[in-house]
């Protein structure tokens, strides 16, 4: 599926807190890395973040960059993994929401899976968008003006969303396509402005 180096030179921020659904970070990150992107784990946590497998403890992962030191301008795209506690903690963190909002405001591509769209709800990014998520998040998306649908993967404008770990293959495919398309659009803009 992945064309090697299709995202060469792209820098992708992966924003998470502890208690994230492990496979929703590791599998998309591998797909991005395999496509040539440089991925950076960013967290309010200083050293490590704890993954989970549903309710069971997973692995701990080293944080590449603490949120306080992260500049959204340095990144081309954003990945928001799910799990229940991870996005719930993030949406209570003002700096984390400012980080997400900067991607929204700049029109940069964002991929969010499972409960990950909570950060998009919190930053008022879902209004008028067709989206999916873990089913329990649908009311929040609808209340924030989004159009929730029960599909494995949905892309609307510059945001790709997905429901759950079982959907990761479709999510990865859609995310890679969105990120690649966004980079192509950016290169076209640069040539037009040259």
pLDDT tens digits in sequence order for the chain, 194 residues long: 445 688 999 999 999 999 999 999 999 999 999 999 999 999 999 999 999 999 899 999 999 999 999 999 999 999 999 999 999 999 999 999 999 999 999 999 999 999 999 999 999 999 999 999 999 999 999 999 999 999 999 999 999 999 999 999 999 999 999 999 988 776 655 555 65
Which of 53, 54, 115, 177 is flagged as catalytic?
115
In the residue annotation, 54 being an active-site residue is answered as no
| pLDDT score recorded for residue 87 | 96
Which of 53, 114, 177, 191 is flagged as catalytic?
114
The 3 state secondary structure assigned to the chain is: CCCCCCCCCCEEEEECCCCEECHHHHHHHHHHHHCCCEEEEEECCCCEEEEEECCEEEEEEECCEEHHHCCHHHCCEEEECCCCHHHHHHHCCHHHHHHHHHHHHHCCCEEEECCCCHHHHHCCCCCCCEECCCHHHHHHHHHCCCEECCCCEEEECCEEEECCHHHHHHHHHHHHHHHHHHHHHHHHHHHHHC
41: tokens are: 């784990």
Q: Full-prediction pTM beyond 0.75?
A: yes
Backbone angles phi, psi at 149, to 5 degrees: -130, 155
In the residue annotation, 114 being an active-site residue is answered as yes
Domains and CATH numbers, the chain: 11-189 (3.40.50.880)
The strand pair at 147-148 and 153-156 is best described as: unpaired
């Amino acid at each position: 599926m992945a064309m090697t180096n299709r995202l060469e030179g792209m820098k992708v921020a992966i924003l998470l807190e502890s208690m994230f659904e492990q496979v929703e970070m590791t599998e998309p990150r591998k797909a991005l890395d395999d496509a040539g992107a440089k991925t950076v784990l960013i967290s309010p946590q200083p050293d490590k973040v704890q993954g989970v497998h549903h309710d069971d403890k997973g692995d701990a992962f080293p944080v590449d960059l603490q949120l306080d030191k992260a500049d959204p301008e340095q990144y081309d795209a954003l990945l928001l993994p799910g799990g229940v506690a991870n996005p719930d903690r993030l949406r209570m963190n003002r700096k984390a929401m400012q980080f997400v909002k900067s991607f929204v405001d700049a029109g940069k591509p964002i991929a969010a899976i499972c409960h990950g769209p909570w950060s998009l709800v919190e930053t008022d990014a879902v209004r008028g968008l067709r989206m999916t998520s873990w089913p329990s998040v649908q009311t929040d998306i609808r209340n924030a003006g989004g159009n929730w649908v029960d599909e494995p993967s949905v892309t609307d404008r510059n945001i790709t969303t997905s429901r759950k770990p079982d959907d990761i293959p479709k999510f990865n495919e859609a995310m890679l396509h969105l990120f690649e398309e966004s980079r192509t659009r950016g290169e076209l803009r640069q040539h037009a402005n040259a």
